[in-house]
Amino acid sequence: MLQIKNYFSLVKFAHTIFAMPFALIGFFYGLKTINYQLNRPWWMLFALVVLCMVFARSAAMAFNRWLDADYDAKNPRTVIREIPGGIISKRNAMIFVIVNCIAFIVTTYFINVMCLALSPVALFVILFYSYTKRFTPLCHLVLGLGLSLAPIGAYIAVAGQFALVPVLFSFSVLFWVSGFDIIYALQDEEFDKENNLYSIPSWLGSTKALRVSEYLHFLSAAAVIAAGMIGHFSWLYWTGVLVFSFFLFYQHTLVKPKDLSKVNKAFFSLNGIASVVFCVFVLLDIFMAS
Protein backbone atom coordinates (compact mmCIF):
# COMPACT_ATOMS: atom_id res chain seq x y z
CA MET A 1 0.00 0.00 0.00
CA LEU A 2 2.89 2.36 0.83
CA GLN A 3 4.41 1.72 -2.61
CA ILE A 4 1.12 2.64 -4.31
CA LYS A 5 0.98 5.82 -2.26
CA ASN A 6 4.54 6.67 -3.37
CA TYR A 7 3.62 6.32 -7.05
CA PHE A 8 0.48 8.43 -6.53
CA SER A 9 2.76 11.09 -5.07
CA LEU A 10 5.24 10.69 -7.95
CA VAL A 11 2.59 11.57 -10.53
CA LYS A 12 0.80 14.13 -8.33
CA PHE A 13 -2.44 12.22 -8.79
CA ALA A 14 -4.45 14.96 -7.05
CA HIS A 15 -3.56 17.32 -9.94
CA THR A 16 -5.80 15.24 -12.20
CA ILE A 17 -8.48 17.67 -11.04
CA PHE A 18 -7.23 20.18 -13.62
CA ALA A 19 -8.02 18.28 -16.83
CA MET A 20 -10.54 15.66 -15.68
CA PRO A 21 -13.50 18.07 -15.43
CA PHE A 22 -12.95 19.17 -19.03
CA ALA A 23 -12.75 15.53 -20.10
CA LEU A 24 -16.16 15.02 -18.47
CA ILE A 25 -17.50 18.00 -20.41
CA GLY A 26 -16.17 16.60 -23.68
CA PHE A 27 -17.58 13.15 -22.94
CA PHE A 28 -21.11 14.19 -22.00
CA TYR A 29 -21.27 16.85 -24.71
CA GLY A 30 -20.39 14.05 -27.11
CA LEU A 31 -23.21 11.89 -25.74
CA LYS A 32 -25.64 14.76 -26.23
CA THR A 33 -24.36 15.31 -29.79
CA ILE A 34 -25.08 11.71 -30.81
CA ASN A 35 -28.33 11.70 -28.83
CA TYR A 36 -27.01 9.01 -26.48
CA GLN A 37 -27.00 6.43 -29.27
CA LEU A 38 -24.15 4.07 -28.36
CA ASN A 39 -23.54 0.43 -29.17
CA ARG A 40 -22.72 -0.27 -25.51
CA PRO A 41 -23.61 1.10 -22.05
CA TRP A 42 -22.39 4.67 -21.68
CA TRP A 43 -20.78 3.94 -18.31
CA MET A 44 -18.54 1.31 -19.90
CA LEU A 45 -17.18 3.84 -22.40
CA PHE A 46 -16.92 6.42 -19.62
CA ALA A 47 -14.77 4.04 -17.56
CA LEU A 48 -12.44 3.54 -20.53
CA VAL A 49 -12.08 7.31 -21.02
CA VAL A 50 -11.25 7.79 -17.34
CA LEU A 51 -8.67 5.01 -17.53
CA CYS A 52 -7.09 6.69 -20.57
CA MET A 53 -6.85 9.94 -18.61
CA VAL A 54 -5.22 8.19 -15.66
CA PHE A 55 -2.75 6.17 -17.75
CA ALA A 56 -1.73 9.09 -19.99
CA ARG A 57 -1.24 11.53 -17.17
CA SER A 58 0.62 9.00 -15.01
CA ALA A 59 2.98 8.24 -17.90
CA ALA A 60 3.58 11.95 -18.58
CA MET A 61 4.22 12.94 -14.96
CA ALA A 62 6.44 9.95 -14.17
CA PHE A 63 8.46 10.55 -17.35
CA ASN A 64 8.89 14.19 -16.39
CA ARG A 65 10.13 13.20 -12.94
CA TRP A 66 12.47 10.59 -14.47
CA LEU A 67 13.96 13.03 -16.98
CA ASP A 68 14.30 15.89 -14.50
CA ALA A 69 15.65 13.82 -11.60
CA ASP A 70 19.14 15.41 -11.72
CA TYR A 71 17.72 18.92 -11.81
CA ASP A 72 15.26 18.10 -9.03
CA ALA A 73 18.16 16.92 -6.88
CA LYS A 74 19.80 20.36 -7.22
CA ASN A 75 16.67 22.41 -6.56
CA PRO A 76 15.86 22.98 -2.85
CA ARG A 77 12.16 23.10 -3.74
CA THR A 78 12.15 19.70 -5.44
CA VAL A 79 14.95 17.76 -3.74
CA ILE A 80 12.43 15.84 -1.62
CA ARG A 81 10.61 14.42 -4.67
CA GLU A 82 10.44 10.65 -4.90
CA ILE A 83 13.36 9.98 -7.29
CA PRO A 84 16.00 12.38 -5.87
CA GLY A 85 14.77 11.46 -2.40
CA GLY A 86 15.50 7.78 -3.04
CA ILE A 87 11.90 6.69 -2.51
CA ILE A 88 11.50 5.44 -6.10
CA SER A 89 14.43 4.45 -8.32
CA LYS A 90 14.85 5.86 -11.84
CA ARG A 91 14.60 2.31 -13.20
CA ASN A 92 11.26 1.67 -11.50
CA ALA A 93 9.98 5.09 -12.57
CA MET A 94 10.74 4.26 -16.21
CA ILE A 95 9.06 0.85 -15.89
CA PHE A 96 6.03 2.69 -14.52
CA VAL A 97 6.09 5.03 -17.55
CA ILE A 98 6.27 2.14 -20.04
CA VAL A 99 3.47 0.20 -18.33
CA ASN A 100 1.19 3.24 -18.37
CA CYS A 101 1.96 3.99 -22.03
CA ILE A 102 1.10 0.43 -23.03
CA ALA A 103 -2.04 0.48 -20.87
CA PHE A 104 -3.10 3.76 -22.52
CA ILE A 105 -2.76 2.40 -26.05
CA VAL A 106 -4.51 -0.87 -25.16
CA THR A 107 -7.39 1.04 -23.59
CA THR A 108 -7.85 3.20 -26.71
CA TYR A 109 -8.18 -0.03 -28.72
CA PHE A 110 -11.37 -0.78 -26.80
CA ILE A 111 -12.78 2.71 -27.43
CA ASN A 112 -12.70 3.20 -31.20
CA VAL A 113 -10.38 3.13 -34.21
CA MET A 114 -9.83 6.89 -34.26
CA CYS A 115 -8.72 7.00 -30.64
CA LEU A 116 -6.34 4.11 -31.25
CA ALA A 117 -4.88 5.80 -34.33
CA LEU A 118 -4.35 9.06 -32.44
CA SER A 119 -2.95 7.45 -29.26
CA PRO A 120 0.74 7.61 -30.37
CA VAL A 121 0.28 11.30 -31.23
CA ALA A 122 -1.16 11.99 -27.78
CA LEU A 123 1.67 10.13 -26.08
CA PHE A 124 4.26 12.01 -28.13
CA VAL A 125 2.83 15.38 -27.10
CA ILE A 126 2.58 14.64 -23.38
CA LEU A 127 6.03 13.00 -23.19
CA PHE A 128 7.79 15.51 -25.44
CA TYR A 129 6.79 18.33 -23.07
CA SER A 130 9.40 17.14 -20.57
CA TYR A 131 12.20 18.03 -23.02
CA THR A 132 10.94 21.50 -23.94
CA LYS A 133 12.27 23.31 -20.89
CA ARG A 134 15.72 22.50 -22.22
CA PHE A 135 15.36 24.57 -25.39
CA THR A 136 12.31 26.91 -25.37
CA PRO A 137 10.54 29.24 -22.93
CA LEU A 138 7.30 28.23 -24.67
CA CYS A 139 7.38 24.97 -22.71
CA HIS A 140 4.28 26.13 -20.77
CA LEU A 141 2.26 26.09 -23.99
CA VAL A 142 3.36 22.53 -24.72
CA LEU A 143 2.19 21.50 -21.25
CA GLY A 144 -1.10 23.24 -21.95
CA LEU A 145 -1.36 21.43 -25.28
CA GLY A 146 -0.93 18.09 -23.54
CA LEU A 147 -3.74 18.71 -21.07
CA SER A 148 -5.90 20.28 -23.78
CA LEU A 149 -6.23 16.85 -25.38
CA ALA A 150 -8.63 15.85 -22.58
CA PRO A 151 -11.91 17.42 -23.81
CA ILE A 152 -11.42 16.72 -27.51
CA GLY A 153 -10.13 13.22 -26.76
CA ALA A 154 -13.17 12.41 -24.63
CA TYR A 155 -15.47 13.79 -27.32
CA ILE A 156 -13.80 11.69 -30.03
CA ALA A 157 -14.17 8.62 -27.80
CA VAL A 158 -17.94 9.11 -27.97
CA ALA A 159 -18.57 10.67 -31.38
CA GLY A 160 -15.63 9.30 -33.35
CA GLN A 161 -14.94 12.67 -35.00
CA PHE A 162 -13.80 16.23 -34.35
CA ALA A 163 -16.20 19.11 -33.64
CA LEU A 164 -15.73 22.83 -33.11
CA VAL A 165 -17.19 23.19 -29.60
CA PRO A 166 -14.95 20.58 -27.91
CA VAL A 167 -11.98 21.99 -29.86
CA LEU A 168 -12.75 25.38 -28.30
CA PHE A 169 -12.84 23.73 -24.88
CA SER A 170 -9.41 22.33 -25.69
CA PHE A 171 -8.13 25.80 -26.59
CA SER A 172 -9.49 27.06 -23.28
CA VAL A 173 -7.55 24.36 -21.41
CA LEU A 174 -4.40 25.10 -23.43
CA PHE A 175 -4.41 28.81 -22.53
CA TRP A 176 -5.61 28.23 -18.97
CA VAL A 177 -2.97 25.63 -18.08
CA SER A 178 -0.19 27.57 -19.83
CA GLY A 179 -1.13 30.65 -17.86
CA PHE A 180 -1.13 29.07 -14.43
CA ASP A 181 2.00 27.05 -15.19
CA ILE A 182 3.81 30.35 -15.79
CA ILE A 183 2.67 31.48 -12.34
CA TYR A 184 3.96 28.22 -10.84
CA ALA A 185 7.29 28.60 -12.67
CA LEU A 186 7.92 31.94 -10.95
CA GLN A 187 9.24 29.93 -8.01
CA ASP A 188 12.14 28.62 -10.10
CA GLU A 189 13.07 31.76 -12.01
CA GLU A 190 16.58 32.04 -10.57
CA PHE A 191 17.19 28.28 -10.56
CA ASP A 192 16.26 28.06 -14.25
CA LYS A 193 18.65 30.88 -15.12
CA GLU A 194 21.51 29.27 -13.20
CA ASN A 195 20.96 25.88 -14.84
CA ASN A 196 20.29 27.03 -18.43
CA LEU A 197 16.65 25.97 -18.33
CA TYR A 198 13.99 27.86 -20.23
CA SER A 199 10.73 29.32 -18.95
CA ILE A 200 8.75 32.51 -19.46
CA PRO A 201 9.79 33.87 -16.01
CA SER A 202 13.51 33.15 -16.59
CA TRP A 203 13.25 34.69 -20.08
CA LEU A 204 11.13 37.79 -19.45
CA GLY A 205 11.33 38.26 -15.68
CA SER A 206 8.49 37.90 -13.18
CA THR A 207 6.62 41.11 -14.00
CA LYS A 208 6.36 40.48 -17.75
CA ALA A 209 5.73 36.77 -17.14
CA LEU A 210 2.68 37.59 -15.05
CA ARG A 211 1.45 39.84 -17.83
CA VAL A 212 1.80 36.99 -20.36
CA SER A 213 -0.13 34.75 -17.95
CA GLU A 214 -2.92 37.33 -17.81
CA TYR A 215 -3.13 37.45 -21.62
CA LEU A 216 -3.31 33.66 -21.80
CA HIS A 217 -6.09 33.57 -19.22
CA PHE A 218 -7.98 36.20 -21.18
CA LEU A 219 -7.75 33.90 -24.23
CA SER A 220 -8.94 30.97 -22.11
CA ALA A 221 -12.03 32.90 -21.04
CA ALA A 222 -12.61 33.99 -24.65
CA ALA A 223 -12.53 30.34 -25.77
CA VAL A 224 -15.24 29.21 -23.33
CA ILE A 225 -17.34 32.23 -24.32
CA ALA A 226 -16.99 31.30 -28.00
CA ALA A 227 -17.90 27.68 -27.19
CA GLY A 228 -20.99 28.87 -25.35
CA MET A 229 -22.15 31.02 -28.25
CA ILE A 230 -21.58 28.32 -30.87
CA GLY A 231 -23.00 25.56 -28.67
CA HIS A 232 -26.15 27.56 -27.79
CA PHE A 233 -25.91 26.75 -24.10
CA SER A 234 -28.35 28.04 -21.49
CA TRP A 235 -27.95 30.39 -18.53
CA LEU A 236 -26.44 27.55 -16.50
CA TYR A 237 -23.46 27.40 -18.81
CA TRP A 238 -23.00 31.17 -18.67
CA THR A 239 -23.11 31.08 -14.87
CA GLY A 240 -20.27 28.58 -15.03
CA VAL A 241 -18.35 30.85 -17.40
CA LEU A 242 -18.68 33.74 -14.94
CA VAL A 243 -17.40 31.63 -12.04
CA PHE A 244 -14.57 30.16 -14.12
CA SER A 245 -13.51 33.61 -15.35
CA PHE A 246 -13.63 35.03 -11.83
CA PHE A 247 -11.24 32.42 -10.46
CA LEU A 248 -9.11 32.73 -13.58
CA PHE A 249 -8.40 36.37 -12.92
CA TYR A 250 -8.66 36.38 -9.10
CA GLN A 251 -5.47 34.33 -8.88
CA HIS A 252 -3.62 37.25 -10.45
CA THR A 253 -4.50 39.42 -7.46
CA LEU A 254 -2.76 36.92 -5.16
CA VAL A 255 0.62 36.63 -6.88
CA LYS A 256 2.95 39.61 -7.21
CA PRO A 257 6.47 39.78 -8.70
CA LYS A 258 7.94 40.36 -5.23
CA ASP A 259 5.50 38.16 -3.30
CA LEU A 260 5.19 34.50 -4.28
CA SER A 261 3.84 33.31 -0.93
CA LYS A 262 0.43 32.50 -2.43
CA VAL A 263 1.60 30.74 -5.60
CA ASN A 264 0.44 27.33 -4.40
CA LYS A 265 -2.99 28.70 -3.50
CA ALA A 266 -3.31 30.27 -6.95
CA PHE A 267 -1.87 27.21 -8.73
CA PHE A 268 -3.78 24.38 -7.09
CA SER A 269 -6.69 25.59 -4.97
CA LEU A 270 -8.21 28.26 -7.20
CA ASN A 271 -7.64 26.47 -10.50
CA GLY A 272 -8.97 23.21 -9.09
CA ILE A 273 -12.12 24.96 -7.88
CA ALA A 274 -12.48 26.80 -11.20
CA SER A 275 -12.45 23.64 -13.32
CA VAL A 276 -14.77 21.66 -11.03
CA VAL A 277 -17.37 24.42 -10.67
CA PHE A 278 -17.34 25.13 -14.41
CA CYS A 279 -17.78 21.42 -15.11
CA VAL A 280 -20.76 21.16 -12.75
CA PHE A 281 -22.60 24.03 -14.44
CA VAL A 282 -21.86 22.75 -17.95
CA LEU A 283 -23.04 19.24 -17.09
CA LEU A 284 -26.20 20.62 -15.49
CA ASP A 285 -26.84 22.54 -18.72
CA ILE A 286 -26.27 19.41 -20.82
CA PHE A 287 -28.48 17.15 -18.70
CA MET A 288 -31.30 19.66 -18.33
CA ALA A 289 -31.35 20.31 -22.08
CA SER A 290 -31.48 16.58 -22.86
Reported as a single tens digit per residue, the pLDDT across 2-12 is: 467 767 666 66
Alpha-carbon distances, residue 68 vs 79, 90, 110, 225, 252 (angstroms): 11, 10, 33, 37, 28
Q: What global pTM score does this model have?
A: 0.93
pLDDT at 39: 87
Query: Residue 187, exposed/middle/buried by CB under 10 A (0-12, 13-18, 19+)?
Result: middle
Alpha-carbon distances, residue 23 vs 19, 212, 229 (angstroms): 6, 26, 20
The yes-or-no verdict on residue 263 having pLDDT over 90 is: no
The yes-or-no verdict on residue 265 having pLDDT over 70 is: no
pLDDT at 255: 85
pLDDT at 121: 97
> pLDDT (tens digit, 9 = 90+) per residue, 93-150?
999 999 999 999 999 999 999 999 999 999 999 999 999 999 999 999 999 999 999 9
Q: In the chain, how many domains are there? A: 1
d(CA 213, CA 286): 30
CB atoms within 10 A of CB 242: 12
> pLDDT (tens digit, 9 = 90+) per residue, 190-222?
999 999 999 999 999 999 999 999 999 999 999
Closest CA to 272 of 242, 255, 251: 251
What is the rounded average pLDDT for all residues in the chain? 92
| Interior/surface letters 73-98, b for 16+ CB within 10 angstroms, e for the rest | eebeebeebbbbeebbeeebbeebbe
Instruction: Look up the CATH number of the domain holding residue 111.
Output: 1.10.357.140
Q: Provide the pLDDT confidence category of residue 1 given band limits of 50, 70 and 90.
A: low
The three-state secondary structure class of 256 is strand
pLDDT at 290: 60
Q: For residue 194, what are the domain limits?
A: 2-289
